[in-house]
């Protein structure tokens, strides 16, 4: 079973959410009434979530490129 491709998809989704949280923390996107808007804590959280997403994407790529042993 090929698990690398779905793992990369999950990583892309996590990365997108991390970027969104980072931008909301920096007051770039989002409604002004959001608890994340202009909140420095969500700048850091967004960076960490994005880093996890990039790691999962890298792991998925590594799994996809691995050749099966015979």
pLDDT tens profile 51-68: 999 999 999 999 999 877
Reading the block at residue 7, the tokens are: 């793992």
Q: Which residues of 39-50 are buried (b: 16+ CB within 10 A; e: fewer)?
A: beebbebbeebb
Question: Which pTM was predicted?
Answer: 0.90
More confident residue, 2 or 52: 52
What is the biggest distance separating any 2 CA atoms in the chain, rounded to whole angstroms? 57
pLDDT at 53: 98
Tokens representing residue 20 in the block: 């969104």
Q: How far apart are CA 52 and CA 16, in angstroms?
A: 11
């Amino acid at each position: 079973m090929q698990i690398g491709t779905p793992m990369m998809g999950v990583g892309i989704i996590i990365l997108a959410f991390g970027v969104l949280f980072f931008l909301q923390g920096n007051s770039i996107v989002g409604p002004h009434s959001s608890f994340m808007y202009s909140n420095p804590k969500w700048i850091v959280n967004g960076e960490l979530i994005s880093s996890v997403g990039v790691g999962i994407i890298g792991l998925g790529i590594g799994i996809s490129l691995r050749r099966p042993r015979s």
